[in-house]
Amino acid sequence: MWITPAVVLLLLAACTKETPAPGKYENGVWIINEGGFNGNNASVSFYDPETGKVTGEVFLTENLRPLGDVLQSMCIHRGKGYLVVNNSRKVEVVDIHTFRSLHTITGVDYPRYFLGVDETKGYLTDGNYQGRVYVVDLETCEITGQIPTGSGPEAMVKAGNKVFVANSGGWGYDSTLTVIDAVTDEVLHTVKVGDQPVDLALDADGYVWVLCQGKVVWNQNFSAIVAETPSRLVRVDPAIYEVTGWEIGTTGDYFNPKRMALYAPGDIMYFEEAGGVYALDLSAPEIPSDPLITLQPYGLEVDPDNGEIYVLTPGGGDQPGSLQRYLPNGEEVQSVSVGYFPNGAVFPEGS
Amino acid sequence: MYNRIFVLAAWLLAALYEPGYAGVPDTVDLREVQLVHRREVLFHSGQQALTIDREMIFRRAQATLDELLSAHLPSGILSYGPAGSLSTIRLRGAGSNHTQVNWNGIPLGSLTTGTPDLSLIPAFAADRLSLVPGASGSLAGSGTFGGAVYLSNEPDWSSPAGVRMKTETGSFGDRRLQAAFRVGNKRVQWDTRLIHHRAANDFPYHDPYLPGNPEVTQSHSSFRSLGVVQHVFLRLPRHHDLNIGVWYQDREKEIPAIMGSYAPGTAVQRDSSLRAYIQWRKRYTRSVWSAHAATVNDYMRYDDAGSGEDGEGLHSFYHTRQTFAGTEYRRYFSDRLMADAGVRYELRYADVPNYGRIIRETHIHTYGGLQWKAGPVTTHFTLRKPFYTGYSMPWLVSLASRWNILSARWWTGIQAGNRYRLPSLNEWYWTPGGDPSLKPETGWNLEWMNDAYIIGFEHASTSVLIRTSLYSSYINNWIQWVPGEGYWSPVNYRNVWSRGLDMSAFFEHNTGSSAIKGKVAYQFSRATNRKVYDSQDILDKQLPYIPVHSGNISLSWETVRTGIRLEQQWNGKRFTTADNHPAYALDAWMRTDVGASYRIRLTGWTVELSGRIRNLFHAEYQLVRSYALPGRSFHMSVSLEWDHGRKSHH
């Protein structure tokens, strides 16, 4: 009988499954590498800010199979990582300490973002035109219900017992947030915020912040733009749904920002727009005219512990992207190579 | 008068030499010598070409162009799935839009992407195929860093009428039918062909992207295609020839999900093309004057029920058209010197929603060539100057020289020239991202070729031919789409150096009642980045999907009634990413196909029953990462052939 190296690795993996090396993936940041569309090369890298070391292909290493195609997002909830693999139409659930796969949630159509609601359930957005939020039983990893939303639901944020869903429009148009009762799973309200809301964050005062991409509407034969609106940052009072907004972009530049990151302790919002990453002081919101970082991000995050800014940029075409880490004042700390099309970073739970 | 015709015929016969599949030129019927060869055949005759003639094409009548060529170019064909899926050709380290595919002078590549889809081209649509790796830019025009494939239709004046039909049924719902009807006389020939192909493609495969590498069944992968090719060939008085051809091809295919997906695909794509040409030629004693006009209309519709802005799916549609007109003149000054010159006008039209407007472009090409024979050395020099508003296009020059060192036994030659590729319409006009200021890709190549019979000689009953080619080529300003500020844009991304070795041994043994033919080929290819627009990390890395090592073996044994054949392709490890990441490399693979046939003659008809097994050893492999391919499949076919007034071909 031939025993190939792969079989040996499998046997070793099986043997060590019960006793994972403690601390293997502790005190670090997970980098979400989306991968090229139809490339099946999505991955997760583990970045240690102390040493600057990057461990690539963590899912592949720990599970001996590729993660899949288009890792849209990742969420850590109660010791588990939820990896939303959009074009593989699945969510991989892993033990966040070992990164071993625990479950695969399937039967989802166009998964985008996961949110752990409480200890028993989570929400998963389905970004189709006729959008919805799947209710996921965290114990069985089964889909137990669906909640209708607007078009192209993307990011979610929980404010008290309400979950706000950004209806980005997906392939079409929308301008609303759907508000869901996190206890009953019923839609409480729909808030009109601005065209193509795509990202959400909760500040220290409990306000929900929304990044609206703005929209470009072409005529039927795409020969002329018939309507266009600029991108906006919007603040929503989750109690009374009062909306306050600021224009952050201009029309005519084809630029529709997708990322923002909030450093709640410092009351600073970082957002992308044409030209790079801009910083907004939420205590006295005034849209800056110059970027803090002149780098166009594909992913943008803030370390919730120290306010360091993580800018993720893709490599050209089919080569690895980079993580650039900056101090809050915009001074670069480090630049490291990660996976293909990095679109975000996830910090340890509770940090 | 007769002497002059003899000189002309001698010239053309000399130009006929084009080493074929087994290094032996096709049989030439001296009574019906084509007095004028196509320009690309004449001027590429100094280069090593793969030639597949009418008989060989009929043997593989069921094949699409990618299937036909994959047996000869194991590393050159990239199929995004089973039969009916997008298939591209990549030669000599170049990209998928770096090899031209032409049918009777009409380019078959997409005007929007510049890439020809070989799965849309049934081999049976043509009578002759010639593939020239590293074809001259001065001969073929834009986009020949990899090479050029020429498909042509030719009248068979030796037989006034004929019927050829073949039907094949195979595993996974694969059904194919080809039929050709030909009727005429010594002055006119009418040739009608019908080509039908459909498949369910519901094959099982192991999916390594799913937990446990389970066996799953491919779904949403069926397709159907229909082609109709009509030709009228006229030999008019006073040495006028007129060829008229029309080809309609239509295919609708389901696009499957990639491996590892938990949901089936939902998209459907329909491609339709209508191509037509007319070619007139007047033969004088020492010269030929010809003119042609052609049009190509391509339509594509894409529907994805699974997404879309109106909740009713995502739909897109485009229509492009190319119109050509040109004329050329060829003069035989002596039995040693020939020259020609021509001009071609091209009008491009594109109605593509994402371009934001209707595109209309005019291109003009002027070109000329010289063939000079001095003793055993034949030299070809060709020149081309394209004109396009807003661009300063380079002069394209090619020089090829071939020396017959030992008559019918040993040839050696060199070829050098520069080449270019004009950006595709998507690269120029896609909104947003398209960049009209993109520079054309440019480059040059140098190649040494050697053909030597180590046993026997050309046309001998027993022979072994060793064919060698060493090449080096540069592609500068290679265009690639890269992510930018909010959208992707094409940029002049990299400079690439491609170099390699092609080596083949052909052997043939004819006893009169049977023939054994074989080929063993090996390709070494290094294609690396020499300069990159935004990264030093991928310098000197091998380009994705170019294996360093590849090879193939074919073996056939034929008698009057029976035939068996074996083909084996081998591809070395291939990287799929620019940084050559080993985790995403594709393993080496080997595929073996076998076939057998039995032929009988019944009152003038030749009936052949044949069977083949594709992927005999059920190899699991991927040509393009994540696109499933079938394992072992079985195919049975029946063919009928009747040629009035001619004995059997076999």
What is the DSSP-derived secondary structure letter of residue B58?
Answer: H
Residue B80: closest C-alpha in chain A: A38
Alpha-carbon distance values, A254 to A178, A215, A242, A297, B357 (Å): 27, 9, 29, 16, 17
Per the listing, tokens 């595919």 go with: B101
CA distance B40 to B48: 13
Query: Could you read off the pLDDT of B490-538 as tens digits, one per residue?
Result: 999 999 999 999 999 999 999 989 999 999 999 999 999 999 887 778 8
Query: Could you read off the pLDDT of B446-499 as tens digits, one per residue?
Result: 999 999 999 999 889 999 999 999 999 999 999 999 887 667 899 999 999 999
Residue B11 has pLDDT above 50, yes or no: no
Query: Could you read off the pLDDT of A27-83 as tens digits, one per residue?
Result: 899 999 999 999 999 999 999 999 999 999 999 999 999 999 999 999 999 999 999
CA distance A222 to A224: 6
**At residue B575, what is the residue type?**
F
Query: Could you read off the pLDDT of B231-268 as tens digits, one per residue?
Result: 999 999 999 999 999 999 999 999 999 999 999 898 99
Asked if B534 lies within 8 A of A316 by C-beta distance, the reply is yes
Residue B23 has pLDDT above 50, yes or no: no
Contact B555, B526 (CB under 8 A): no
Asked if A128 lies within 8 A of B307 by C-beta distance, the reply is yes
> Residue A23: which pLDDT band, with cuts at 50, 70 and 90?
low
Asked if B308 lies within 8 A of A172 by C-beta distance, the reply is yes
Residue B580 has pLDDT above 70, yes or no: yes
A39 interaction partners in chain B (CB closer than 8 Å): 576-577, 584, 625-626
Mean pLDDT of B322-327: 97
Q: What is the DSSP string of B589-608?
A: EEEEEEEEEEEEEETTEEEE
Query: Could you read off the pLDDT of B166-179 as tens digits, one per residue?
Result: 999 999 999 999 99
Q: What is the mean pLDDT of chain A?
A: 89
Q: What is the mean pLDDT of chain B?
A: 89
Mean pLDDT of B34-42: 71
Cβ-proximal residues to A306 (8 Å cutoff; 6+ apart), any chain? none
Q: Percent of chain B scored above 90 by pLDDT? A: 75
CA distance B545 to B92: 11
B533 interaction partners in chain A (CB closer than 8 Å): 316
H runs (alpha helix) in chain A = 5-16, 58-63
Closest residue to B263, CB basis, from A109, A298, A320: A109
Residue B51 has which token pair? 């030639």
> Residue A9: which pLDDT band, with cuts at 50, 70 and 90?
very low
Closest CA to A106 of B51, B7, B502, B257: B257
Stretch among A182-191, B109-118, B313-322, B332-341 having the lowest mean pLDDT? B313-322
Mean pLDDT of B580-599: 96
Q: What does the pLDDT read at residue B9?
A: 39
Tell which of A45, A59, A87, A88 to mutate to test the B interface (max B CBs under 10 Å): A88
**Alpha-carbon distance B297 to nearest alpha carbon in chain A (angstroms):** 19
| ipTM > 0.95 (yes/no) | no
Asked if A254 lies within 8 A of B261 by C-beta distance, the reply is no
- Residue bearing the bigger pLDDT, B602 or B620: B620
Asked if B308 lies within 8 A of A39 by C-beta distance, the reply is no
**In 3-state terms, chain A is what percent helix, strand and coil (to 5)?**
5, 45, 50
Residue B159 has which token pair? 């037989």
Q: What does the pLDDT read at residue A316?
A: 74
CA distance B626 to B586: 10
Asked if A88 lies within 8 A of B260 by C-beta distance, the reply is yes
Strand partners, B217: B204
> Residue B41: which pLDDT band, with cuts at 50, 70 and 90?
confident
A170: left (phi over 0), alpha (psi -120 to 50) or beta: left
> Residue B312: which pLDDT band, with cuts at 50, 70 and 90?
low
Cβ-proximal residues to B561 (8 Å cutoff; 6+ apart), any chain? B598, B599, B600
Query: Could you read off the pLDDT of A294-323 as tens digits, one per residue?
Result: 999 999 999 999 999 999 999 876 789 999
Residue A218: closest C-alpha in chain B: B356
Asked if B261 lies within 8 A of A337 by C-beta distance, the reply is no
B577 interaction partners in chain A (CB closer than 8 Å): 39, 41, 318-320, 340
CA distance B269 to B539: 37
**Alpha-carbon distance A70 to nearest alpha carbon in chain B (angstroms):** 11
A224 interaction partners in chain B (CB closer than 8 Å): 356
Tell which of B96, B207, B255, B258 to mutate to test the A interface (max A CBs under 10 Å): B258
Asked if A89 lies within 8 A of B262 by C-beta distance, the reply is yes
Closest CA to A30 of A266, A301, A306: A301
B311 interaction partners in chain A (CB closer than 8 Å): 129-130, 172
Residue A86 has which token pair? 């959009």
Q: Percent of chain B scored above 70 by pLDDT? A: 92
> Residue A339: which pLDDT band, with cuts at 50, 70 and 90?
very high
Q: What does the pLDDT read at residue B336?
A: 92
Query: Could you read off the pLDDT of B93-143 as tens digits, one per residue?
Result: 999 999 999 999 999 999 999 999 999 999 999 999 999 998 888 888 899
Q: What is the DSSP string of B307-364?
A: --TTSS-EEEEEEEEEEEEEEEEEEE-SSSEEEEEEEEEEEEEEE-GGGSS-EEEEEE
Q: What does the pLDDT read at residue B94?
A: 94
Contact B402, B378 (CB under 8 A): yes
Asked if B626 lies within 8 A of A39 by C-beta distance, the reply is yes
Q: What does the pLDDT read at residue B647?
A: 52
Contact B342, B367 (CB under 8 A): yes
CA distance A181 to B451: 79
Q: What does the pLDDT read at residue B447?
A: 96
Residue B35 has pLDDT above 80, yes or no: no
Burial class (CB in 10 A: 0-12, 13-18, 19+), B82: buried
Asked if A222 lies within 8 A of B485 by C-beta distance, the reply is no
Asked if B486 lies within 8 A of A257 by C-beta distance, the reply is yes
- Residue bearing the bigger pLDDT, B595 or A27: B595
Q: What does the pLDDT read at residue B85?
A: 96
Tell which of A10, A17, A57, A319 to mutate to test the B interface (max B CBs under 10 Å): A319
Mean pLDDT of A123-142: 95
Contact B502, A285 (CB under 8 A): no
A129 interaction partners in chain B (CB closer than 8 Å): 307-311
A314 interaction partners in chain B (CB closer than 8 Å): 483
Closest residue to A340, CB basis, from B310, B432, B577: B577
